[in-house]
């Protein structure tokens, strides 16, 4: 099975915050909810793989961000290129900054 077929085989179409449904990865995920699979010899985020397959290479220093804010989503039109600063600005604009900070503080407390 080629990579694109595997990506599309292991998704669940689910309603999200946008007018089009999210394609949620059903395979392995990390603690942040981002899907991962083997790609070119190492573990790679499926949202990144989806971008590469559907849109082409990811420019150096750029991230693949989510319009839908669903880390497990790999639908190409829900993804956009951005810098780390763009990603933070998007998070703040959508009101997610405080929630992320609270999650990080809770994780730090449980580690200590």
Kindly report, residue by residue over 28-37, the tens digit of the pLDDT.
999 889 999 9
Q: Are 64 and 45 in contact (CB under 8 A)?
A: yes
Confidence (pTM): 0.80
Q: Are strands 22-25 and 36-39 parallel, antiparallel or unpaired?
A: unpaired
- CA–CA distance, 47 with 78 (Å, rounded to integer): 10
The two three-digit tokens of residue 65, written as one number: 């961000």
DSSP category for residue 36: E
Number of domains in the chain: 1
Decide if 67 is inside a domain.
yes
Decide if 97 is inside a domain.
no
- CA–CA distance, 55 with 50 (Å, rounded to integer): 8
Decide if 17 is inside a domain.
yes
Give the residues of the chain that fall short of pLDDT 70. Answer: 97-108, 110-112
The conformational region for residue 95 under phi > 0 = left, psi -120 to 50 = alpha, else beta, is: left
Specify the pLDDT at position 83: 94
What residue numbers bound the domain in which 14 lies?
3-83
């Amino acid at each position: 099975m080629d990579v694109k077929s595997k990506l599309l085989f292991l998704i669940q179409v689910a309603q999200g915050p946008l007018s089009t449904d999210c394609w949620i990865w059903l395979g392995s995920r990390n603690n942040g909810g981002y899907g991962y699979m083997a790609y070119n010899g190492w573990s790679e985020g499926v949202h990144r793989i989806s971008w590469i397959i559907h849109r082409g290479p990811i420019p150096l220093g750029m991230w693949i961000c989510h319009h839908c804010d669903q880390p497990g989503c790999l639908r190409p039109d829900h993804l956009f290129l951005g810098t780390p600063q763009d990603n933070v600005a998007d998070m703040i604009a959508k009101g997610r900054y405080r929630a992320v900070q609270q999650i990080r503080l809770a994780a730090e407390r449980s580690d200590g």
